[in-house]
Amino acid sequence: MTEESLLEIIRQELPISHPSLIVGSGDDCAVVRPPPEGHSLVLKTDATLEGIHFTQETDLSAVGWKALCRPISDFAAMGAIPQHALVTVAAPLARSENEWRDLSRGIGKAARTFKITIIGGEITRSPTTLFISVTLSGITGPRTLLRSAAQPNDLICVTGKLGGSFQSGRHLTFLPRLLEGQWLAAQSGVHAMMDLSDGLGSDLPRLARASQCNFLIEENNIPCHQDSSTQEAITHGEDYELLVTIDPKAWLKLHADWKNHFPALELTPIGTMTSLKTPATPIPPGFDHVEDFKRPL
């Protein structure tokens, strides 16, 4: 297997052409047409590592799916539209041609599902474990939702159910809420949004800090997966659901419209944003990437 023959295997599995692509994989850089007038450029990078985001036994097509879907979830959280991906894979010696094909197939499936073109990347060897880094570029939707725009009295809502993602394997098969995020960003009563990757217990305080607010949570209202307790729904990460704050005056109409558009996915109010004068509901933290350095792999 040479670099060129491996690249050929990978190319077979990946969507690599797009109307906006001027120079694709194979030259020093990729060149694409700029965003259409009125849109800004959106960029996000996310890494997926063996020993953290999956284990040595995980099916590599699921790993490829997850590697691409993680940054897609960040685009969802801003109501943005992903278009192009750059994929870097550092793999140990032992990975076979079939494993490369599986990994490429998973990346390709996610790319096709969400209409993303792979425009470049790199393969290199890793001393011990598999490492995948994905950068997505795309464009803003009609409105860009930030973490910092929540207001006191906003309802705090989450999509879907939380908890137990890693234990159940859902972290490998989740569907990023891309259409839902784009729809929410188009509703005028929606103020702030982010995706839940490190767990509600870490992510909600981040959104509150960015918005200079506090929050009150009704823990009993948190939608938990059947296999998870409320505590687990707060502290487990990798849900990839949306956390969104909504003007309470807009809620009833918006919720009715939501149920029409997304009948299979719940949007659940779990609390209220407050001013900094109200102490926040104490909740245990989720995942901290640096604190986690102290845990053995």
Smallest separation, CB 17 to a copy of itself (Å): 16
CB 14 within 8 A of CB 112: no
Residues numbered 65 to 84 that lie near a copy of itself (CB under 8 A) are 74-75, 77-78, 80, 84
Smallest separation, CB 185 to a copy of itself (Å): 12
Residue 121 vs 271, nearer CB to a copy of itself? 121
CB 158 within 8 A of CB 246: no
* Residue-wise DSSP of 232-288: HHHH-----EEEEEE-GGGHHHHHHHHHHH-TTS-EEEEEEEE-TTSPPPP------
Residue 201 vs 224, nearer CB to a copy of itself? 201
Smallest separation, CB 143 to a copy of itself (Å): 12
Binding mask 183-222 for a copy of itself (x = CB under 8 A): -----------xx--------------x------------
CB 215 within 8 A of CB 270: no
Is 22 a binding residue for a copy of itself by CB under 8 A? The answer is: yes
CB 66 within 8 A of CB 53: yes
Smallest separation, CB 195 to a copy of itself (Å): 6
Is 58 a binding residue for a copy of itself by CB under 8 A? The answer is: no
CB 53 within 8 A of CB 171: yes
Q: Which amino acid, 126?
A: S
**C-alpha angle 17-104-36 in degrees, rounded to nearest 5:** 30
CB 120 within 8 A of CB 29: yes
Q: Residue from 15, 18, 88, 248 that binds a copy of itself (CB under 8 A)?
A: 88
Is 119 a binding residue for a copy of itself by CB under 8 A? The answer is: yes
Q: Residue from 11, 59, 101, 148 that binds a copy of itself (CB under 8 A)?
A: 148
Residue 43 vs 276, nearer CB to a copy of itself? 43
Is 57 a binding residue for a copy of itself by CB under 8 A? The answer is: no
Is 55 a binding residue for a copy of itself by CB under 8 A? The answer is: no
Residues numbered 35 to 54 that lie near a copy of itself (CB under 8 A) are 35, 39-47, 49-52
Q: CA 276, CA 84: separation in Å to the nearest integer?
A: 40
